[in-house]
Structure 1
Amino acid sequence: MIRLAANLSMLFNEHDFLDRFAAASQAGFRGVEYLFPYAYAPDTLGELLAETGLEQVLFNLPPGDWEAGERGLASLPGREAEFRDSVAEALRYAQVLDCPRVHAMAGLLPADADQHEARAAHHATYIENLRFAAREAAKVGREVLIEPINTRDMPGFFLSRQAQAMAVLEEVGEPNLRLQFDLYHCQIMDGDLIRHLEQQFAAIGHVQIAGVPERHEPDVGEVHYPALFECLEALSYEGWVGCEYRPAADTRQGLGWGRDLGLLPG
């Protein structure tokens, strides 16, 4: 059975962030994810999860200076100490929130990093940082995820293709380093979604969805999500499906797709 998690960084923006937990629960979600928890004390978020009966399923490591445009630290040479601190902070939150997985954003290549030597330096940093993060997470029973993000929405992002992600997982070689498979990003960069799901299924730790190309509700656009949900069920996927899309209007009114598919209560 497909289990939907509400991405509270995108859904229920009609409410202040801390009120989105109750809104998600009332709409029938049983899991939540979001970009970052670090603006709030972990105990505050933990109390909200307990009050609303929600499970925290995912959040990201600290990304560097988000407001200045940074999008992760994992592949950035010279920032290794900061990355290691970010791993410790994320795992501290994960333990309080009982969250089984965290996402390590790869980061952006600088404008002059298209040369082979520069990209190689970022790759080497990425591999070593991910190996460190996975080993630290294993000590407390957590997974670390990597996610290819499309270069239209995030130009210069270091990890952008499914094949690149699979090669990274193999090179790092840690069993708790897994793939965050975002069907929206994959459709834009690679397409052939069902075949990618089938071929990469053993590596998948989390799935996310959104309509393509506008990143609205998943019943609008070029991707036929009922077929993808059937594929996931046929593969016996037992994880969560994160609803990481921007509602075209009111969040709850736009959830008819989930109700129609029997994934949310009517």
Structure 2
Amino acid sequence: MSTDTGLNASPETGVSAAQPAPLRFDANLKWLFTEVPFLERFDAAAKAGFTAVEYAAPYSYDPADLKRRLADAGLKQVLVNTPMGEPGTPTRSGVACFPDRVQEFRDGVDQGLEYATALGADFLHIVGGIRPDGVSRDRAFARYVTNIAWAADRSQGTGVRLVLEAMNKRDAPGFILDTQAQAAAVAEAVGSENVGLLFDFYHAQIDEGDLLTTLDNVWDRVFHLQIADTPSRHEPGTGEIAYTRIFDHLRRRGYQGWIGCEYAPAAGTVEGLDWIKEASA
């Protein structure tokens, strides 16, 4: 499966104009290896050939325990999310755009940075949130930008970079970021080299399409990538996205960062990993 090449993204971005390098895939443990309990997924990922992992919510576990499991399995932590509410609640996609939950947002960023630092994660995903009922889009968006600027200042000196993600409106109606370009504009407006994009091909395909052009238009701000096929969010090769072309494009552009496998396996995690062999060839 994935092999850690030892290449690291530059301090500013996950992309580089260097010679093409092998692509590096990490396992998202919320989505992959769900055949076993969460704490057993580290060893399962390593056994399958992964050398790095990411997952959204580490907060139910002691960071020392998670760090030990990473070390025992020989895995690197790539990314965690800021805390989110339970499924079905207004805060299920975060609170960064909630004008009346500023302290909750700040506490969540502090907690996220604490875990990300303890685990040696490269990135903290600041989850944007779904615009609250009764709050205008302009007001929610202004609060979001202000909160991102605060988080950027807070993250300085931690070694953790912040990523922003635009989610599709089919799965997350009312999500505060509409497009990849808007997410990049927020990162630009904040003015911190510590803030960039999490570009998710699944979300981008549903809302925008024209994936290679959409990616190239924000290339300088991309820190991290995630993949799943559309429309069913299974592994690459099960849907409509031409991932062979996308992977070739990433090689040509010299992408050196991680690519998070954030998909629901169609028929078992290990059984569905053959696509990585082709992608890594």
Deviations 1:28-68 (A, max 9, x none): 11110111100100000000000011100011001244563
Q: Which of 5, 10, 16 matches 2:37?
A: 16
Matched-pair identity in % = 44
Map 1:173-184 → 2, pairs under 5 A:
173-184=191-202
Structure 1 residues not aligned, in runs of 5+: none
Aligned to 1:222: 240
Distance 1:261 1:233 in 2: 10
Q: Which of 97, 117, 128 matches 2:146?
A: 128
Map 1:57-76 → 2, pairs under 5 A:
57-66=78-87, 68-70=89-91, 71-76=93-98
Structure 2 counterpart SS, 1:261 = helix
Whether the 8 Å CA contact 1:198–1:235 is kept in 2: the answer is no
* TM-score normalised by length of structure 1: 0.94
Distance 1:67 1:192 in 2: 31
Mean Cα displacement is larger for which, 96-105 or 63-72?
A: 63-72
Mean Cα displacement is larger for which, 171-180 or 37-46?
A: 171-180
Structure 2 counterpart SS, 1:45 = helix
Aligned to 2:275: 257
Pairs aligned (count): 259
What is the deviation of 1:69? Answer: 4.5
1:186 maps onto 2:207 in alignment:
no
Q: Which of 87, 110, 116 matches 1:88?
A: 110
Distance 1:251 1:100 in 2: 25
4+ aligned runs moved over 6 Å, structure 1: none
* TM-score normalised by length of structure 2: 0.89
Aligned to 1:167: 185
| One-letter code aligned to 2:148 | L
What's the C-alpha RMSD, in Å, of the aligned pairs?
1.3
Structure 2 residues not aligned, in runs of 5+: 1-21
Distance 2:182 2:279 in 1: 33
Whether the 8 Å CA contact 1:179–1:205 is kept in 2: the answer is yes
1:107 maps onto 2:129 in alignment:
yes
Structure 2 counterpart SS, 1:260 = helix
Which protein, 1 or 2, shows the higher relative CO under an 8 Å CA cutoff with sep ≥ 6?
A: 2
Aligned to 2:51: 30
